Structure 1
Amino acid sequence: MIIDTHAHLFYEDIVKDIDSVLERAAESGISRIIIPAVDYKTSIRTLKLCDKYEMLYGAVGFHPCDIKETNPDDIKLLEELTSHHKIVAIGEIGLDYYWDKTYIDKQVFFFKEQMELAKDKNLPVIIHTRNSTSDAVEIIKQSYNEKLKGQFHCFSGNETDLNEILKLYGFYLSYCGNATYKKFGDLNSLLNTPVERMLSETDTPYLTPEPHRGRKNEPSYLKYTLKKIAELKNIDNNVLEETVYNNCMKLFFTI
């Protein structure tokens, strides 16, 4: 069994084909899929999908690239959604210094506020850190206690960042389909990430792994990423899948 911890299935072009997408996922060994929202609208879409399909679970949150029009009071809207029985995390949250650096202070504010919400609701966080991992780690360390736990999704930090994260009990890392690319730039971090601290994800519809690169990504392709990671780390693929599955269950589905 495999869990895709990060698949944005709320996009309209995916929703219209969702039955086929989920059928292919199940056939490939996927047992559960977590849909991380990026704003309030996609949080609502996520809840509707989770209500309709047994294998789907959700995370609600404000993505750092989607907070320009977001107000502090909107955190209360997220809090209301966390009562849904299939919400398993707060996310996708974090910092993004790649697309726009003009509102970093606002990104930091919402990152901190959503981490506090996660601690209050005893939910893990799903963290986005594009070109911002070091700053994100420092902010997490400021807020860290035994209630704060989560996932560094699509990890792209350096080895110093990795070592700092590994000191934070309850935090895991995941790598996407770009791990299958010839010019994968985060190989050293991947090789030095203990399997016991790894999760599995696709980041659907992005970062499609080889041999399907160029197509829209989907959960059924997760097996290609895991196979490549097992190859790079020189471990048995079945051992990797079992360990990562247990990690996913521990973080998101163990009460």
Structure 2
Amino acid sequence: MLIDTHSHLFLEEFAEDLPQVMERARNAGVSSIFMPNIDSTTIDALLSVCAKYPDLCYPMIGLHPTSVNETYEQELAIVRERLSAPNYFVAIGEIGLDLYWDRTFLKEQLLVFERQIEWALEYELPVVIHTREAFDYIYKVMEPYKKTALRGIFHSFTGTPEEAARLLEFDGFMLGINGVVTFKKSTLPETLLTVPLERIVLETDSPYLTPVPNRGKRNESANVKDTLAKVAEIYQKSLEYVAQVTSENALKVFGFRK
């Protein structure tokens, strides 16, 4: 059993061959694919894919930080509306902060992030957190929630041992590890030696961040097996053991039972 905790298979990159993509995922041993939303433009496509593959794909709802601009109030209203109607959302995501491209809307990103955290607590849902060039801001926003029931995943973790230690202070959270761990110049393997296996989950972030040996091509959920292989090598455990532990970690975060 393998779980891809973060995949955008509803994007147009998969419009031509989605059934084959899903088939390859199943053949690779993937039993669940968790899908984070981006903004109001992606909700319908996301829900459509999850409706087509209900035994495999599970939707989240949220507003991605790179989609935060002057229309953020309207976007948040849509998220709130979707949350308050009957739904199948398993998490609020992906949310967080991204200062890599642009800092223009930092104030708005912070407000949007915090409001969605509050909704996660209100609806008792986990959060999936995107952090890019914003570690200290993320930590500062999150710190008051340390003693709450908030749980979730720090998606696409690529940080230092010090950053890992600070994130692991949040008991209900896992670190999401993807194809970056297989990259030649990645320092993530050294960092992971300081992180208990019980605190990580596997993800692809498809169609991005394709692991070696397919780096440079479109990523897809089946490739989580390549990340698994690298993580097993780092922890010096069997593929089966790492698959089992990381899958149990994922199910725990999303409140699923086997």
| Amino acid paired to 1:167 | E
Q: Tell me if the contact between 1:137 and 1:161 (Cα under 8 Å) persists in the aligned partners.
A: no
- Please name the residue that 1:57 is paired with: 58
Structure 1 residue 41: Cα displacement? 1.6
196, 199, 213: which is aligned to 2:198? 196
- Please name the residue that 1:187 is paired with: 189
CA distance in 1, matches of 2:251, 2:149: 17
- Please name the residue that 2:13 is paired with: 13
Q: Tell me if the contact between 1:7 and 1:202 (Cα under 8 Å) persists in the aligned partners.
A: yes
CA RMSD of superposed structures (Å) = 1.6
Q: Tell me if the contact between 1:43 and 1:61 (Cα under 8 Å) persists in the aligned partners.
A: no
Structure 1 residue 254: Cα displacement? 2.8
- Please name the residue that 1:43 is paired with: 43
Q: 1:151-189 CA distances to partner (integer Å, 9 max, x unpaired)?
A: 001102222221121121110001111211111133332
- Please name the residue that 2:68 is paired with: 67
Structure 1 residue 80: Cα displacement? 2.7
- Please name the residue that 2:232 is paired with: 230
118, 121, 145: which is aligned to 2:120? 118
| Amino acid paired to 1:31 | S
CA distance in 1, matches of 2:141, 2:173: 14
Are residues 42 and 69 of structure 1, via their aligned partners in 2, closer, same or farther at CA, if it must alter by over 3 Å? Answer: farther
- Please name the residue that 1:161 is paired with: 163
Structure 1 residue 84: Cα displacement? 4.9
| Amino acid paired to 2:98 | D
Pair 1:174 & 2:176 matched? yes
> 3-state DSSP class of the match of 2:234?
helix
CA distance in 2, matches of 1:69, 1:12: 25
CA distance in 1, matches of 2:193, 2:71: 38
Alignment size in residue pairs = 255
- Please name the residue that 2:247 is paired with: 245
Q: Tell me if the contact between 1:134 and 1:157 (Cα under 8 Å) persists in the aligned partners.
A: no
- Please name the residue that 1:93 is paired with: 95
Larger displacement relative to structure 2 (30-39 or 7-16): 7-16
Q: Tell me if the contact between 1:6 and 1:202 (Cα under 8 Å) persists in the aligned partners.
A: yes
Q: Which runs of 5+ in 2 are unaligned?
A: none
Structure 1 residue 71: Cα displacement? 2.7
Q: 1:19-63 CA distances to partner (integer Å, 9 max, x unpaired)?
A: 110010000000110111111121232112111212111111111
Q: TM-score, normalising length from structure 1? A: 0.95
Are residues 143 and 253 of structure 1, via their aligned partners in 2, closer, same or farther at CA, if it must alter by over 3 Å? Answer: closer
CA distance in 2, matches of 1:88, 1:176: 20
CA distance in 2, matches of 1:78, 1:102: 22
| Amino acid paired to 2:219 | N
CA distance in 1, matches of 2:147, 2:68: 26
| Amino acid paired to 1:186 | L
| Amino acid paired to 1:88 | V
94, 119, 131: which is aligned to 1:129? 131
Q: 1:164-222 CA distances to partner (integer Å, 9 max, x unpaired)?
A: 21121110001111211111133332221211011110010011111111110000011
Runs of 4+ residues deviating >6 angstroms: none
> 3-state DSSP class of the match of 2:44?
helix
Structure 1 residue 137: Cα displacement? 1.6
Q: Which runs of 5+ in 1 are unaligned?
A: none
CA distance in 2, matches of 1:41, 1:69: 16
Structure 1 residue 85: Cα displacement? 4.2
Structure 1 residue 70: Cα displacement? 2.9
- Please name the residue that 2:222 is paired with: 220
